[in-house]
Amino acid sequence: MSTAVILDEHSLRALPGIEAALARAGALVMRSFGNTPSPQLLRRHAGVGVVGGADKAGLVARLERATTALAGVRAPVIGVLPPGLAPTRDLLGPGVVDLLPAGAGGAAERILLMARVPVVTGRPGGARPAPQKAVCGGPDGRQGQAEPAAHLVVVASSTGGVWVLGAMLRDLPGEARAVAIAQHMDAEFVSFFADWLGVVSGWRVCVVEEAAPLAPGTALLAAGGKDLVVERGRARAVPARSPFVPCADRLLASAAALGPAVVAVVLSGMGSDGAAGLAEILRAGGRGLCQEPATAVVPSMPESARRAAAGIRAAAPEALAGAIAALGRR
């Protein structure tokens, strides 16, 4: 079944050519009537509503109407930012899975990828569903067997990095490679995110409650509200101790002890989390790269990484998997 994408007039103006790009990718493309995505259409066709606004107030109002209308069918909503408006956390309410800048490159692929994000319904402070976690490992992390020669990829990601991470893993072979991820995220979203990441990437995604092995073909996330650290052969979830949860610097700094077997990647996000940890990995003989800042929804994390580690490669989202594989072969 084709993925249905319902676009309002603001998103059509802000993303020139998006209808044709989505159609070429095999999507069922529809325009909304009354400026609100139709829940009747999305009951019949799994998909996503895409809404924009002339200014921040208009976008907030449209997001509110769209998420309310689509809550019953659990369809996600994507917001398209008006020109000059930066993405902010207050725009990412329940049901809003991504924010696209006006004129964003690769918008069709990103919309189709985010259309599969599980939706958390309800408004802030309301009751939320209690999802089942994909829990891996026990207190000593011995469940499963790690491959001794496995390479480790450690990823720092925040606002705007989710879709890049999903696409990167989808294109990255899992043989002889484990991935540990610090994706800034509220605790209640972790289980939904893990389910979605496994679907779109094809990787086995493990939410680490205590400890789990660094097994090839496995992507590891810390349980909600915790940091993730790695050591030889396993990853552990530990109490968070910084405003960024999970903390990317803490994950990357722990991986530095593993030396040349590590590749670090810094994706889109606000602030500088991950830059100091990346520098430690490079000093220890590991390798690193970042998302090309010009392609990031929020470029400050990859920009900080380039300042902290002069000379590292920056790659566009579609080139990240190949760049990681090339670094791992060195």
* 150 shares its domain with 251: yes
Q: Is the pLDDT of residue 209 over 90?
A: yes
pLDDT tens column, 98-123 = 999 999 888 999 999 888 877 754 43
Please answer whether residues 77 and 114 qualify as being in contact, where contact means their C-beta atoms are separated by less than 8 angstroms: no
Domain stop point among 114, 143, 164: 114
Nearest to 210, CA basis, from 132, 136, 134, 133? 136
- Please count the other Cβ atoms lying within 10 Å of the Cβ belonging to residue 260: 12
pLDDT tens column, 36-59 = 888 888 888 889 999 999 999 999
Q: Distance (Å, rounded) from C-alpha 115 to C-alpha 207?
A: 22
Number of domains in the chain: 2
Residue 19 lies in a domain: yes
What residues contact residue 148 under an 8 Å CB cut-off, 6+ apart? none
158 is catalytic: yes
* 200 shares its domain with 257: yes
DSSP, collapsed to helix, strand or coil, labels residue 103 as coil
* 26 shares its domain with 93: yes
Tokens of 81: 């930012």
CATH code for the domain in which residue 9 is found:
3.40.50.2300
Q: Is the pLDDT of residue 188 over 90?
A: no
* 104 shares its domain with 228: no
Provide mean pLDDT across the span 188-200: 85
Provide mean pLDDT across the span 217-226: 96
pLDDT tens column, 77-93 = 999 999 999 888 788 88
Residue 124 lies in a domain: no
* 162 shares its domain with 20: no
The predicted pLDDT at position 193 comes to: 86
DSSP, collapsed to helix, strand or coil, labels residue 68 as helix
The continuous run of DSSP H or E covering 85 comes out as: none
* 65 shares its domain with 145: no
* 184 shares its domain with 227: yes
Query: What is the four-CA torsion angle of 185, 157, 134, 180, rounded to 10 degrees?
Result: -140
* 176 shares its domain with 103: no
Provide mean pLDDT across the span 159-168: 89
* 287 shares its domain with 146: yes
pLDDT tens column, 126-149 = 333 333 345 676 665 554 443 334
pTM of the model: 0.77
* 104 shares its domain with 143: no
11, 98, 273, 304: which one is catalytic?
Answer: 273
DSSP, collapsed to helix, strand or coil, labels residue 277 as helix
**Sign, Cα dihedral of 91, 304, 245, 134:** positive
- End-to-end, the C-alpha distance of the chain in Å comes to 42
184, 268, 272, 304: which one is catalytic?
Answer: 184
φ and ψ of 154, to 5 deg = -115, 135
Provide mean pLDDT across the span 149-169: 88
273 is catalytic: yes
pLDDT tens column, 281-325 = 999 999 999 999 998 888 999 999 999 998 899 999 999 999 999
Residue 126 lies in a domain: no
The predicted pLDDT at position 131 comes to: 36
* 231 shares its domain with 316: yes
* 140 shares its domain with 243: yes
Q: Is the pLDDT of residue 190 over 50?
A: yes
Distance set, CA 65 to CA 83, 100, 151, 177, 242 (Å): 21, 18, 46, 43, 35
Q: Is the pLDDT of residue 219 over 50?
A: yes
Residue 69 lies in a domain: yes
Peptide bond into 246 cis (omega under 30): yes
Question: What range does the domain containing 186 cover?
Answer: 135-329
